[in-house]
Amino acid sequence: MQRASAAHSVSRARVSLQLELAPAELAHLDGLLRRSTPTGRVRGWTLRHATQGEVTAEGPRPRAIFNDPEAIAEAARLGLGVALLPVPFVAASLARGALVRLLPGRHQEVGSVYLYHPSRTLLPAKTRVFVDFVLARFEADGFARRMRAD
């Protein structure tokens, strides 16, 4: 059986069961790592837990390094290793059991989603309508809740 991981860490599971690891146990697994496009560095695995705070985990052994989260998600679905990915790339696979979380309750902070626009004064009507639409849609669809890793 292959394993998957937490907050966004995932991999293929042939059996449907809940696995739980400690962050230190990642070092013994094959990993699908992500390279930062702007810096070229492999991204670290700093994980946050609601009650235990933040821990920088030694990542898994590098099996492959990608710069595309969709490619990493597909490699995880194929059982090539564990991965740390944003929820949108793995939500459907987690829901149908193709991937499982190894570190439930842990996630990696990746920041917020922003809409940048000129100052609110004299904002073009088209821009205001678009901003209002996006905010209403995110709220109605429960976007923030669905993107949470826990």
Global confidence as pTM: 0.68
Residue 3, pLDDT score: 38
Joined tokens for residue 140: 């109605």
Residue 67, pLDDT score: 92
Residue 82, pLDDT score: 92
Residue 57, pLDDT score: 72
Residue 19, pLDDT score: 58
CB atoms within 10 A of CB 92: 11
Can you name the residues that pair with 53 across neighbouring β-strands?
49
Write out residues in the chain with pLDDT < 50, as ranges. Answer: 1-18
Residue 71, pLDDT score: 95
CA 11 to CA 106: how far, in whole Å?
A: 16
Can you name the residues that pair with 46 across neighbouring β-strands?
56
The CATH class of 9-107 is: alpha beta
Task: Map out the domains of the chain as residue ranges.
Answer: 9-107, 112-150
Residue 86, pLDDT score: 84
Beta-strand (E) ranges in 19-150?
30-34, 45-49, 53-57, 61-66, 82-84, 99-101, 106-107
CA 48 to CA 65: how far, in whole Å?
A: 23
* Residue 15 phi, psi dihedral angles, 5° rounding: -125, 140
